[in-house]
Amino acid sequence: MPVIRTLTKVAKQALLSTPGCGCQPLTVAVRNISFSPRQVTSDASFHSVSFSETDHPKVLITDLFSNYATLTSFLICRKRFGKNNVILSDIRKPPSNVFHSGPFIYSDILDYKNLREIVVNNRITWLVHYSALLSAVGEANVALARSVNITGLHNILDIAAEHGLRLFVPSTIGAFGPTSPRNPTPDVCVQRPRTIYGVSKVHAELMGEYYHHRYGLDFRCLRYPGIISADSMPGGGTTDYAVQIFHDAIKTGKFECNLKPDTRLPMMYIDDCLRATLEVMEAPADTLSMRTYNINAMSFTPEELTQELQKQMPELEVTYDVDPVRQAIADSWPMNFDDSNARKDWGWKHDYDLPELVQTMLNYFGAETRMARVN
């Protein structure tokens, strides 16, 4: 910056000393080299980083302990792109197996300067933003949900635009509301959610698409159904009953469901979720007819899940104690997703239906139980 200040001074002196010029002294505008989209000019334009087929992206994943993803999925990403090319981050201390598996860094999405330094210092090219408070938890603490889900998103968008990143932000079935078509729910329709979680996700979809059209940000978004995984604990989502039932079935042989037995919601196994995320991130931009897609795999009710599980565990007892808050949320959500655009544009195809899901979950817990007995 001293060079720029010197040039500015010289330019002023030259203008003032020019004979015959009746002009007033001019102020020379000097733009700081460090640019922030928080001060966007009317002709601003951003372009995503491109890399050859032999190059791997440098990926930053926010919120290691997100309810969207699992430690296994992160390790799969490291296997795909190289362990040093996938940086995991959170505000909490990671378990030792994660800490020793590759780069981990402290990051707070509400700290703009901290995030910006991470992106610059690690030459990040892809940013996967998982941080969010889910539906039921968000309703219990709206102020925190607004801060994390909206203010944190604004930081992510600005940094991604500033540094030309490819940005992935997941959305959700919760982005729809009681006036949305429910069976099936198309990609584009009335949304109008009734939870702070859903409102924040609609905000994320629209802001991401705005940054794409206004500044050229390579924004990509998938609306996840309920995600089921064996290696993560339920974290306050309305669809978490579909994970909790497996934990309780193995431990006690009994499960109390907080939704009505006929409550139908779209669901997906974590492996399909991770594969869909990687596929949409790797898809050529010219194949994407939109920036926010529905993805789907299966749709079932608590009663149908119970019946499938009882084929393997006939002694399982399931009772119902309906939580009115969670039930109201579920009743406003889609019963089934129309994901035909994802299947047409970038070839999305799921692998797991309900029988495969149940068998995979039981295999995981069976192996875990045998290992615990050995230990």
Q: Where are the alpha helices (DSSP H) in 164-298?
A: 196-215, 241-251, 270-282
Q: Among this protein's residues, is 197 annotated catalytic?
A: yes
φ, ψ of residue 357 in degrees (nearest 5): -60, -50
The residue with greater pLDDT, 55 or 295, is 295
pLDDT band at 63; cut points 50, 70, 90: confident
pLDDT band at 94; cut points 50, 70, 90: confident
How far apart, in whole angstroms, are the C-alpha atoms of residue 133 and residue 82?
Answer: 29
How far apart, in whole angstroms, are the C-alpha atoms of residue 85 and residue 73?
Answer: 15
pLDDT for residue 69 is more than 80: no
CATH architecture of 132-373: 3-Layer(aba) Sandwich (3.40)
pTM of the model: 0.82
Q: Domain locations in the chain?
A: 132-373
* Mean pLDDT score across all residues of the chain: 84
3-class secondary structure, 53: coil
pLDDT band at 296; cut points 50, 70, 90: very high
Question: Which is the catalytic residue, given 197, 211, 241, 352?
Answer: 197
pLDDT in tens, 305-325: 999 999 999 999 999 999 999
Residue with tokens 């505000």: 91
Give the max Cα distance, the chain: 100
The residue with greater pLDDT, 159 or 41, is 159
**CA nearest to 285, candidates 54, 46, 50:** 50
State the pLDDT at residue 67.
54
Q: How many CB atoms neighbour CB 316 within 10 A?
A: 18
State the pLDDT at residue 280.
97
Question: Of the ranges 163-167, 229-233, 235-239, 272-276, which is most confident?
Answer: 163-167
State the pLDDT at residue 232.
74
pLDDT for residue 12 is more than 70: no
State the pLDDT at residue 365.
86
State the pLDDT at residue 345.
98
Of the candidate ranges 35-39, 178-182, 296-300, 330-334, the one whose mean pLDDT is the lowest: 35-39
φ, ψ of residue 47 in degrees (nearest 5): -135, 135
